[in-house]
């Protein structure tokens, strides 16, 4: 067998098991996706507040900013010539909004999660991560080279035992979780994690709020704000590519940790910073997030309504949020069901291994604040 045949054989296997992937050929218009001559309401985007689809804020931004003066490239890492004043403004806004000492902005959530743990861990570190954390966190754990255990999803009894057994053996322990989980749409118990952390002197809490930033909390700062535990979380991470309708990511933390990351974090040091234009747009959106209470309330309401409808039809879903999976188990079944919904005008996508554990393929529906009850009703009828 020649080298290329080994690849084509692997792809064949993916096709047989229903796990083959390809880039969808799609076009966008507001809340709709166009594909193969069909117009479909987008139930797969992470534009949870509808900011990207509506375009109203972008218009306000582009009308009020001299966009031609904003550069479309930073041309360098922030440690060289890429550190534009826009970064300082955004980081100051984030630190102020969260009431934390410092913030640091990254090119993406993937950069954040693959960079933070490798920077902070040493030979004397242990990482305890929820079994269902995002692939980017798993890659960060692997790159860190630290010892790690992935505890059963939201199983804090197991987590506590792991802490008890290991607290004396390591200088630093990192507990890592998402707040709203990206594939199950359920939530970590942040208050309980904070409580556990406080019983030991050598634990840092690392929480990824990718799906909660913008959608939860009085000012949109996420679940930590909603639960009043922002101060207790050492590394509070979120992304700008979802509800904030932009690109990039942040960590809010104390000043010392920020300084340490600037010195040690390879995905920050060795990558060209985001364009100043993009940072300025992010800053603009975030200035509006605290005021988007109606959108958050609407998202909460419509999500609760949809979960109730599903429960009434006998589906069981772990979700407590706007991310609502319908688990089919089998990959082919998920693909077929998604295809049928697309035929009916709803852009729903299957999620399969390795994004989710084997045997837990699903449809992943994500709701946005601009959906109506009628649209939810029509979709529910089809399920
Ligand atoms: C989307 C996501 C990321 C990655 O963020 P990007 O900015 O898209 O790279 C990280 N963590 C979680 C939980 C996510 O859902």
Q: Which of 46, 136, 154, 360 is catalytic?
A: 46
Tokens encoding 372 = 């109506």
CA distances from 139 to 144, 155, 173, 188, 235 (A): 9, 22, 18, 21, 17
Give distance in angstroms: CA of 186 to centre of ligand 1.
16
Tell me, rounded to whole angstroms, the distance of Cα 177 from its chain centroid.
Answer: 11
Side-chain half-sphere exposure of 325, counting CA atoms within 13 A: 20
Q: Please, which residues have CB within 8 angstroms of residue 194's CB and are 6 or more apart in sequence?
A: 205, 229, 232, 233
The pLDDT score that the predictor gives to residue 316 is 82
- Check residue 326 and give its pLDDT: 94
Closest by Cα among 35, 20, 49 to 366: 49
Whether the CB-CB separation of 249 and 237 falls below 8 Å is answered with yes
Alpha carbon of 36 to ligand 1 centroid (Å): 28
Q: Based on the residue annotation, tell me whether 211 is a catalytic residue of this protein.
A: yes
Assigned architecture for domain 8-42+292-382: Alpha-Beta Complex (3.90)
Asked if 242 is an active-site residue, the reply is: yes
To the nearest 10 degrees (0 to 180), the angle between helices 135-144 and 109-120 is 30
Per-residue CA distances from 172 to 146, 161, 190 (Å) = 10, 16, 20
Closest CA to 368 of 299, 289, 280: 299
Residue-wise DSSP of 75-137: -S-TTTT---HHHHHHHHHHHHHHT-SEEEEES-HHHHHHHHHHHH--TTEEEEEETT--HHH
* Separation CA 61–CA 335 (nearest Å): 39
In the reported structure, the alpha carbon of residue 92 is separated from the centroid of ligand 1 by a whole-number distance in angstroms of 22
CA-nearest residue, atom 10 of ligand 1: 109
pLDDT for 73 equals 97
**Under 8 Å CB-to-CB from 291, ≥6 apart: which residues?**
none
- Cα separation, 33 vs 23, whole angstroms: 14
Annotation marks residue 321 as catalytic: no
Sequence spans of domains, the chain: 8-42+292-382, 63-290
* CA dist list (Å): 30 to 33, 48, 63, 301: 8, 13, 19, 22
Q: Which residues line ligand 1 at a C-beta cut-off of 6 Å?
A: 108-110, 113, 134, 136, 178, 182, 208, 210-211, 239, 241, 249
Atom of ligand 1 nearest to the CA of 249: 7
Q: Is 60 a catalytic residue?
A: no
Of ligand 1's listed atoms, the one at least distance from the Cα of 113 is 10
Q: Is 383 exposed, middle or buried (0-12, 13-18, 19+ CB in 10 A)?
A: middle
Distance 208 CA to ligand 1 centre (A): 8
100, 197, 211, 337: which is the annotated catalytic residue? 211
| The pLDDT of residue 201 | 93
Structure tokens at 118: 């490798």
Q: Are 121 and 144 in contact (CB under 8 A)?
A: yes
Q: What is the distance between the terminal CA atoms of the chain, rounded to a whole angstrom?
A: 45
Give the CATH fold of the 63-290 domain.
Answer: 3.40.640
C-alpha pair distances (Å), 24 with each of 21, 28, 36, 42, 349: 9, 12, 10, 13, 11
Using CA positions, which residue lies closest to atom 4 of ligand 1?
Answer: 109
Instruction: Find the catalytic residue in 108, 182, 319, 370.
Output: 182
Q: Give the number of the atom of ligand 1 that is nearest the alpha carbon of residue 248.
A: 7
Ligand 1 centroid to Cα of residue 248, in Å, is 9
**What is the block-wise mean pLDDT of the chain (383 residues), using blocks of 10 residues?**
93 90 94 95 97 97 94 97 98 98 98 98 97 97 98 98 97 98 97 97 97 98 98 98 98 98 98 98 98 98 97 92 95 93 96 90 96 96 92
H helix runs in 243-330, sequence order: 255-264, 266-269, 276-288, 293-312
Q: Is 28 a catalytic residue?
A: no
- The residue among 278, 292, 287 whose CA lies nearest residue 54 is 292
Instruction: Reply yes or no on whether 17 is catalytic.
Output: no
- Rounded Cα–Cα distance for residues 24 and 45 (Å): 13
What's the gap in Å between 210 CA and the centre of ligand 1? 6
Testing ligand 1's pocket by substitution, the residue of 44, 113, 114, 351 carrying the most ligand atoms inside 8 A of its CB is 113
In the sheet with 346-347, reading across from the earlier edge strand, the strands are 27-29, 32-35, 38-42, 346-347
Contact between 235 and 204 under an 8 Å Cβ cutoff? The reply is yes
Give the integer Cα–Cα distance in Å for 217 and 225. 5
């Amino acid at each position: 067998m020649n080298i290329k045949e080994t690849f084509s054989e692997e792809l064949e296997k993916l096709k047989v098991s229903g796990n083959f992937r390809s880039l969808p050929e799609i076009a966008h218009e507001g809340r709709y996706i166009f594909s193969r001559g069909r117009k479909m309401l987008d139930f797969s985007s992470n534009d949870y507040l509808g900011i990207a689809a509506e375009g109203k804020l972008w218009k306000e931004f582009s009308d009020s900013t001299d966009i031609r003066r904003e550069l479309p490239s930073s041309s360098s890492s922030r440690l060289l010539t890429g550190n534009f004043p826009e970064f300082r403004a955004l980081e100051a806004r984030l630190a102020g909004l969260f009431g934390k000492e410092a913030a640091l902005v990254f090119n993406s959530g993937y950069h954040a999660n693959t960079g933070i743990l490798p920077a902070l861990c040493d030979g004397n570190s242990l990482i305890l991560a929820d079994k269902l954390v995002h692939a980017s966190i798993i890659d960060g754990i692997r790159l860190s080279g630290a010892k790690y255990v992935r505890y059963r999803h939201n199983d804090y009894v197991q987590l506590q035992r792991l802490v008890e057994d290991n607290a004396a053996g390591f200088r630093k322990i990192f507990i890592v979780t998402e707040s709203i989980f990206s594939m199950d749409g359920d939530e970590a118990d942040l208050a309980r994690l904070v409580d556990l952390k406080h019983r030991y002197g050598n634990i840092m809490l690392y929480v990824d709020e990718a799906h909660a930033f913008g959608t939860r909390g009085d000012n949109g700062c996420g679940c930590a704000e909603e639960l009043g535990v922002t101060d207790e979380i050492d590394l509070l991470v979120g992304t700008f590519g979802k509800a904030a309708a932009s690109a990039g990511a942040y960590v809010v933390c104390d000043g010392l940790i920020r300084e340490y990351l600037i010195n040690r974090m390879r995905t920050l040091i060795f990558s060209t910073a985001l364009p100043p234009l993009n940072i300025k747009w992010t800053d603009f959106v975030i200035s509006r997030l605290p005021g988007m209470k109606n959108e958050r309330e609407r998202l909460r309401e419509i999500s609760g309504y949809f979960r109730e409808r599903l429960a009434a039809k006998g589906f069981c879903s772990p979700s407590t949020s706007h991310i609502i999976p319908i688990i089919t188990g089998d990959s082919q079944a998920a693909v077929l069901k998604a295809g049928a919904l697309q035929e009916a005008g709803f852009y729903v996508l299957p999620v399969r291994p390795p994004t989710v554990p084997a045997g837990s393929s699903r449809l992943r529906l994500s709701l946005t604040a601009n959906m109506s009850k009628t649209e939810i009703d029509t979709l529910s009828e089809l399920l």
